[in-house]
Amino acid sequence: MRIRHFMTTNVVAVGEDTSLHDARKIMKAHKIRRLPVLKKDKLIGFVTQHMLLEAAPSPATDLSIHEMHYLLAKMTVKDIMVKKPYSLSPDMPAEEALQLGQEMGYGGFPVVEDGKLVGIVTESDIVRVMTRVLGVREKGTRIDIKASKEFGNMKRIMEILDKKKTVLLSLMTTPLEGAQEHWLVVLRLKSDNAEPIVKELKSAGFNVVYVG
């Protein structure tokens, strides 16, 4: 699934001369935590709720309350924004965007196509769609199999599911730590009774390590 399939397209954005006070009000009104900053329809910056909070003077400052309000009133998003923010293509796969966000420590990205801001995507959006892809929201049974990496194992597992006329909600594989020759195959099945399937898998030589 690509980012364009689930990104927010009705993006709330501001100009570089927007005051920090107005930026806070906009975020609160729209219940958002990130604001792209545009100049002549071109993305030039990115401001987050956290950045706005950090821009507030420390309580330990020697400035009077009036001086603080005066300084804050003069500050605009241009003063604190991330300039030339990292943006994503709408054709980037969801899992790549999630990995990139984790590596860079970002919770959201503006989405740009042909130089134009077309959307915004957050870590929560990606997790939500990955949850849907993995079939987590549907009731079913999970079966974990410790399988060798030899070719043909996945075909054998699928043949068993077909034989038992079992709907596969999702399939995930991950390398097993400390076991280079094996991986963990996680099946989520649309079935309330996994016993016949587990029995068939074990009969075929598979090591079923979890059923739930």
Percentage of the chain with pLDDT > 90?
A: 61
More confident residue, 77 or 138: 77
pTM above 0.95, yes or no: no
Last residue of a domain, one of 87, 112, 131: 131
At 51, the pLDDT band (50, 70, 90 cuts) reads: very high
What pLDDT sits at residue 90?
A: 96
Looking at the fold, whether 109 and 178 belong to one and the same domain comes out as: no
CB 109 within 8 Å of CB 87: yes
What pLDDT sits at residue 195?
A: 93
Last residue of a domain, one of 74, 96, 131: 131
Looking at the fold, whether 48 and 101 belong to one and the same domain comes out as: yes
Looking at the fold, whether 96 and 28 belong to one and the same domain comes out as: yes
Average pLDDT over residues 125-142: 80
What pLDDT sits at residue 74?
A: 79
Nearest-CA neighbor of 79 among 34, 28, 17?
17
Q: How many helices (H) and strands (E) does the chain have?
A: 8, 10
What pLDDT sits at residue 53?
A: 87
Looking at the fold, whether 30 and 111 belong to one and the same domain comes out as: yes
127 pLDDT more than 90? no
Last residue of a domain, one of 131, 159, 194: 131
Does residue 50 form part of some domain?
A: yes
Looking at the fold, whether 28 and 123 belong to one and the same domain comes out as: yes
Domain at 200, CATH number: 3.30.70.260
Helix (H) or strand (E) holding 144: strand 141-148
What pLDDT sits at residue 150?
A: 83
DSSP, collapsed to helix, strand or coil, labels residue 37 as: strand
Looking at the fold, whether 90 and 66 belong to one and the same domain comes out as: yes
Number of domains in the chain: 2
Tokens of 51: 């950045």
Looking at the fold, whether 161 and 124 belong to one and the same domain comes out as: no
Looking at the fold, whether 126 and 21 belong to one and the same domain comes out as: yes
Looking at the fold, whether 102 and 159 belong to one and the same domain comes out as: no
Q: Residue 81: which domain range?
A: 3-131
Looking at the fold, whether 59 and 96 belong to one and the same domain comes out as: yes
Predicted confidence (pLDDT) per residue in 62-105, tens digit: 555 666 566 667 789 999 999 999 999 999 998 899 889 889 98
Domain at 71, CATH number: 3.10.580.10
Does residue 136 form part of some domain?
A: no
Q: Tell me how crowded residue 148 is: count the other CB atoms within 10 A of its CB.
A: 13
149 pLDDT more than 90? no
